[in-house]
Structure formats: C-alpha cells, structure tokens
Amino acid sequence: MKMGTALVYDEEMTKYKLLWVDPACKIEVPERLTVSHEALVKAGLADRCVAVPVREATDADILLVHSEEYLEAVKKTPYMTLEDLKEFTLQYGDVYFHPNIYHCAKLAAGAALQLVDSVVTGKVRNGMALVRPPGHHSMRSAANGFCVFNNVAIAAQYAKQKYGMKRVLIVDWDVHHGQGVQSCFEDDPNVLYFSWHRYEHQRFWPQLRDSDYDCVGKEKGAGFNINVPWNKVGMKNGDYLSVFCHVLLPIAYEFSPDLVLVCAGFDSAIGDPEGEMCASPDIFAHLTHLLMNLAGGKVCAVLEGGYNLTSLHQSVCQTVQTLLGDPAPRPADLDGPCTSALESLHCVRSAHRQYWSCLKHAAELPSSEISTKCIKLEEEEEEKQQHQKKEEEEKEAWPEPLKRLTPPVRTAVVLPDGVVCPDGCERFSPSEDLNILNKVRENFLKGPDDSDALTTLSSLTALVEKMEKNEICNGLALVRDVSTARMCVVQHAATAHRNRVLMVCVGDAVVPSPGTDDGKTLLVQFSNTESEEQKGKFHIPVCLKKGCSDVSGFTLAVLGLLLPLGYEYDPSLVLLVRTPGSGLCDAAWQQLTGLLQGLAQGHTLVLMQEGEKACVGPTASSLLGVAAPSLGKLPAPLPEDVQALERLRHRLQADWKLLQTTAPETA
C-alpha cells in the first residue's frame, strides 16, 4: 500500500528578510522556517518523512497564474538597490522585496510543485512543503500580504495541466482570506476553494467585501468558492470543528476531489498576533486527519502564514505527525461554537444551499435579516469581548501539546482459525489471563464448555486492555455472536471509571440500548427501520430511508451528525459494529472506519459478524491507516433523509452543542 509522507524544505528560503522599517511586515521573519524545520527534526518527524528536494518554478509554471508583466517586473528585483527595492515595494500592500526574494519565491512555488509531483505520481501518499514567502495573497499581477507568487494556486493549475486532475480542493485554514487564490479560481468549477478568515465585518485586513460569505464564485464557478468569515477573535477548537463538519466536509465529499491542496497557514492558532484566535495547535492534527480520506489520501500541505514561532512549530509538528499516520490526540474539553461562529456557519450554509445538495435543507432566512441580527448581537457582546481581550493579552499561554506516542502494534486481529491474518496486522493470541477467563466464564458463557466463545471473548477483553495501555492502537474481531461480544467489550470498558465508549452500529441487528443514560456509552445506530420509541441523549438511532445503501445520505449522517457527536463525546474507545444486512458498500465502510480514527487516540475496535468475512481485508486496510477509496461524486441524498437528519440534529442540539448550525433565536 502507498504510504510515506514527503517533506519539502530548503534553508535557502530563509535567506531573505525585511531590510527597512515597516511595522506591517516585521513579523514575516526567516526564523519562521528554521524553528518549524528544527522542531520537526527534534521531534524525530523529519527522519520519518521522505525528503524531497525543492526546485525553482520555471517561467511557465509561474505564468500558469501570474501575468508576464508582473513576472518581468519581479525578475528585475535581484539587481535593485535598496532604494529601488523600497520604491518597487510601494506599489503593493503589506509586502516587502529583497534582492534574494525572487529566488526564494521561485523555490517556494517550485517546492509546492515538487510536492504535487511526489504525491500524484505515488512516490508518497501525502506531504508538506515548508516554504516562504507564502503565496495565498498574491494576485495575478501583484504581490500582497508577504506573498510574491501564489504557490498553491500555481500548484492547482499545474496539477490540472500536467496530470489532468479533474477536481482540486483547496482548503485554506490560514487566518487570513487568500483573496489571491479566490480571484484565480472564482469562475472555475474544477477548483473548490474553501477559506475561513478573520473578518470582523470587513474591519480586518485585507478588508475586502469579496471575503464575505456571500461571495460564492462567479459564472460556472458559482458555488465553488466558500468563504467563512470570523466576525470575532477568540475562535476555539469547537468553532473550527463545527465548520469542518457542517460546511467543508459535506461539500468536499459531494465534490469528490482528485487532489487536496492545503493553504496551511498557522496564524489561526492560539498566540498568533495576527489571528488572535484561541484554537490549540493539536486541532491541526484533527483538521489534517479529516481531509486524509479525500482524494484517496492525496493531500499536499503548503505553509502559508504563522507568526508566533511557538504555536507555529507546534502546529507544523501536529500536521506532519498526522500526515505520517499517527493517531491524533484527544481534543481537550471542546466547547460548542460561539454565537458569532454559528451566525457565520448559518450564513455560509444558506449562501451555498442552492449549489450543494447536502445543504438543500439549510434553513433560508433573508440575508438582510441575518446580517442585522449578526451586527446587533455584535455590539452587545463587543464591549464584553474587548475588556476580556485586554486581560488575555497579558497571559496568552497554552499547554504544550501532549507527546503523541504511537503504540508498538497498530492493528491486532481476532479471527477464527480458518481466516487468514491480513498483511500488516498482528493476530491476537487468546488470553491466558485467568481472571479474564473466569470473569468471561461467569458473565457470558451459556454452556460451560463453549470453548471457542471463551477464547474469543477473553481475547477481546485482553485486546481492549492492551488498547487502554496504548500497547495496541486498534483492532478487528470476526465473531460468531456479535451481541455477546459487544456486551463483553462494553462491560469491560465500563469497569475503568473514566472510560467512555462510543458504539457505532451499522446493520439491522437490534441493539439493546445501554442500561442507563449514565453516559458511559453513547450508541449511534444506523438502520433503515424507523424506531418509534424516543431514545435518550446517549442512544441515537439514525434512520435512513434506504438504510446505509444510500451512500450520500449515509455520508451526510456521518459527517454532520456522527463526527460532531463523537468529538463532543470524546470517547476513550470507539466500538464499530457491523452486522449483515447493512447494505453498506466497502468504500463507505472504509470512509467510516477511517474518519472515526480521529477519535479516542485512534483506539477503534471493529466487531464483525462471521458472515462479513469478505470485509476483513478492506477494514484492516483502513485500520492500518491506508486512505479509504474515494466515494466518487455523490448524488443528492434523499430529501426525506436530509430533513430527517435536520430534525434529529435540532432535537439533539440542546444536549450536543457541536450539532448546532444556527445561532440560538435571539429574544
């Protein structure tokens, strides 16, 4: 299987800097690159990557995006005096030139192209390019916002032209709007550009009307430009995850890209002087993870901004470690999205409702009503926010992300003798542990001599114990009696007081709801039989008209309901149960298995009924971290399924904040 993560870096790109006084540009320093690369080396991550050399972008590469006159003008800068450089710089905004910046800008763009080559030709699965100058602000004929050539825009055009890539997704998680990328592709339906950015109702740089949520693209490109404005600072992990689950991912899966490019700016992390947001560096492990099952895993992250050297290098490490396949850390105490984020979320979903079938149900309010509501709420909360911000400035500090130790065994399997152990997996030997055997015997065995049940259940128990000790990352068991196995695992996990088990059931077996609503388990059950009785907060039946055979409806339920629930519940173990009759295709099942590994530090235990033997291989592949196959362009989900999901979300959002997609009605 195609694994491997490319790292494209060259210290030559540190060899330019600001040569005069300019408060707007002083934060863009060479150390941004050196601290990031040194952190990767120190963390042992650089050595695990495939080092890919940079190259200079050629004129032809650069002319994929920029005009000849602009390129010719920039070509002259290496020979300019300091005065000429200052003069030349004046025609652009918030950017500076240097005798060596043209060379470095060619290397930055060339690095992105080298990364695309390595990923698209299958030399590696994914990768990151550590570059400066950044690119997403530069326009066809103008430098802007520290950017000279638009590295990612050039990479997108290059991928389309050289490799015939049909659909390219660009995710811009930098805290600034990449207006250069937007303007390059706004009429192009083959490039879906997503950006969130500090906006504050157009009061924040670059203060463009075109950065707002209602700029959805032009002509054939209408719907393929997604702007999520942050109208307040202080956005946190929950705000970011909500936008991924309720805006980006549903649309991205419907778009079904052949390649994912990330404008990986880290000025959206806590501590950054530009963003003034409060999301912790480990959130980038989750943002990266959530993209890694798109495009068959072909993800190219290219550094953009990031001006706090500490949060920058921490965020870079979180991103690269996830690209390498290491499980993401559990997201600490997620809050629901704040009111302002909910308004932006609602506005974006409404603006894109007509273009994406996954959003068809998004409630439509006249945008005028929404915008006044936003501003009214703004003023009220503004002063509260202001004095809060003053306090925060003094003590902007955050805990260093926890070391992400990868268990010695990635995937352990419990299989009947006749079933071969999939490549890369480790067959888990039956437990000899007497107290496990006795506990299983007294609690679960029907007949005294049911030896293979005893073997299976004691092996499962021992496997869960090894996952708790982080000796094993995830597991797969093919068992005769899934319901007993399920109870055995849940009961064992419940013994450790702080354990929480997210149980996801796919298929039509009747699943007894967990004993009490004590919250020790959260059961989400996909089926096509409408369950009449009202379930509790911790037992959520998801009914799809055509069951899981409808990939679109299933995907929407996973992205917009299961993932937010899972992140908010923050389980210590994910128990994924598949019983016959689900009708779920392998690719959708693999997407589910892949996505759920973002939870519980990757501790996913898959239980499958013996009849599902054919699914052992594909399941093992996902558990080993191989990207799930692309689902292809998704047809519209059934309207009744979409409405049912919406109703379910509305019913549950009182208990589960990450399910909200609209601001609470104001008085």
Pick one of 267, 276, 282, 508: the residue that binds Zn ion (CB under 5 A).
267
Closer to ligand NCCCNCCCCCS by CB, 254 or 267: give it. Answer: 267
SS3 state at 341 = helix
- Count of residues binding Zn ion (CB under 5 A)? 5
Pick one of 98, 160, 176, 236: the residue that binds Zn ion (CB under 5 A).
176
Which of Zn ion, ligand NCCCNCCCCCS, none sits in contact with 4, Cβ below 5 to 8 A by type?
none
Which of ligand NCCCNCCCCCS, Zn ion, none sits in contact with 641, Cβ below 5 to 8 A by type?
none
Distances in Å between the alpha carbon of 394 and those of 124, 205, 390, 397?
44, 23, 7, 9
Binding letters toward ligand NCCCNCCCCCS, positions 297-316, x by CB under 6 A: -------xx-----------
163 binds ligand NCCCNCCCCCS (CB under 6 A): no
Binding letters toward ligand NCCCNCCCCCS, positions 182-221, x by CB under 6 A: -----------------------x----------------
Closer to ligand NCCCNCCCCCS by CB, 105 or 463: give it. Answer: 105
Structure tokens of 176?
Answer: 């600034």
Q: How far is the CB of 195 from Zn ion (least distance, A)?
A: 10
Structure tokens of 629?
Answer: 């196959």
Q: Which residues contact 312 (CB under 8 A, 6 or more apart)?
A: 32, 35, 36, 266, 269, 272, 306
Q: How far is the CB of 205 from ligand NCCCNCCCCCS (least distance, A)?
A: 5
Structure tokens of 76?
Answer: 């002259």
Structure tokens of 59?
Answer: 């004129």
DSSP 8-state class, residue 224: S
CA dist., res. 133 & res. 302, Å (int): 11
| Half-sphere exposure at residue 101, Cβ-oriented, CA atoms within 13 angstroms | 28
Structure tokens of 446?
Answer: 């029907």
Question: CB burial class (10 A; 0-12, 13-18, 19+) of residue 17?
Answer: middle
Catalytic residue IDs = 137
Structure tokens of 658?
Answer: 């990450």
Nearest residue to 211 (alpha-carbon basis) of 224, 195, 234 = 195
Closer to ligand NCCCNCCCCCS by CB, 146 or 149: give it. Answer: 146
Pick one of 117, 174, 254, 326: the residue that binds ligand NCCCNCCCCCS (CB under 6 A).
174
**Amino acid, res. 141:** S
**What is the helix (H) or strand (E) element at residue 260, kind and residue range?**
strand 259-264
Q: How far is the CB of 301 from Zn ion (least distance, A)?
A: 14
Report angle CA 629, 334, 349 to the nearest 5 degrees: 60
Pick one of 305, 325, 327, 329: the residue that binds Zn ion (CB under 5 A).
305
Which of ligand NCCCNCCCCCS, Zn ion, none sits in contact with 145, Cβ below 5 to 8 A by type?
ligand NCCCNCCCCCS
Q: DSSP characters for 610-637?
A: GGGGGGHHHHHHHHTTPPPPP--SPPPP
**Amino acid, res. 612:** E
Which residue carries 């093919």 as its tokens?
Answer: 478
> Which residue's CB atom is positioned nearest to Zn ion?
305
Closer to Zn ion by CB, 305 or 564: give it. Answer: 305
146 binds ligand NCCCNCCCCCS (CB under 6 A): yes
Closer to Zn ion by CB, 267 or 641: give it. Answer: 267
| Subset of 571-600 contacting ligand NCCCNCCCCCS (CB under 6 A) | none
Closer to ligand NCCCNCCCCCS by CB, 215 or 312: give it. Answer: 312
Neighbours of 452 (CB within 10 A): 12
Q: How far is the CB of 666 from ligand NCCCNCCCCCS (least distance, A)?
A: 33
Contact 169, 199 (CB under 8 A): no
Binding letters toward Zn ion, positions 523-552, x by CB under 5 A: ------------------------------
Q: How far is the CB of 174 from ligand NCCCNCCCCCS (least distance, A)?
A: 5
Q: How far is the CB of 613 from Zn ion (least distance, A)?
A: 50
Q: 526-533: which pairs have CB atoms within 8 A and are 24 or more residues apart? A: 526/554, 526/557, 526/582, 528/583
| Subset of 253-292 contacting ligand NCCCNCCCCCS (CB under 6 A) | 265, 267, 274
C-alpha radius of gyration, the chain, whole number: 25
149 binds ligand NCCCNCCCCCS (CB under 6 A): no
DSSP 8-state class, residue 608: E
229 binds Zn ion (CB under 5 A): no
Q: Which residues contact 591 (CB under 8 A, 6 or more apart)?
A: 293, 555, 558, 628, 631
Using CB under 6 A, list all residues that contact ligand NCCCNCCCCCS: 24, 94, 134, 137, 145-146, 174, 176, 205, 265, 267, 274, 304-305
Residues in touch with Zn ion (CB under 5 A): 174, 176, 265, 267, 305
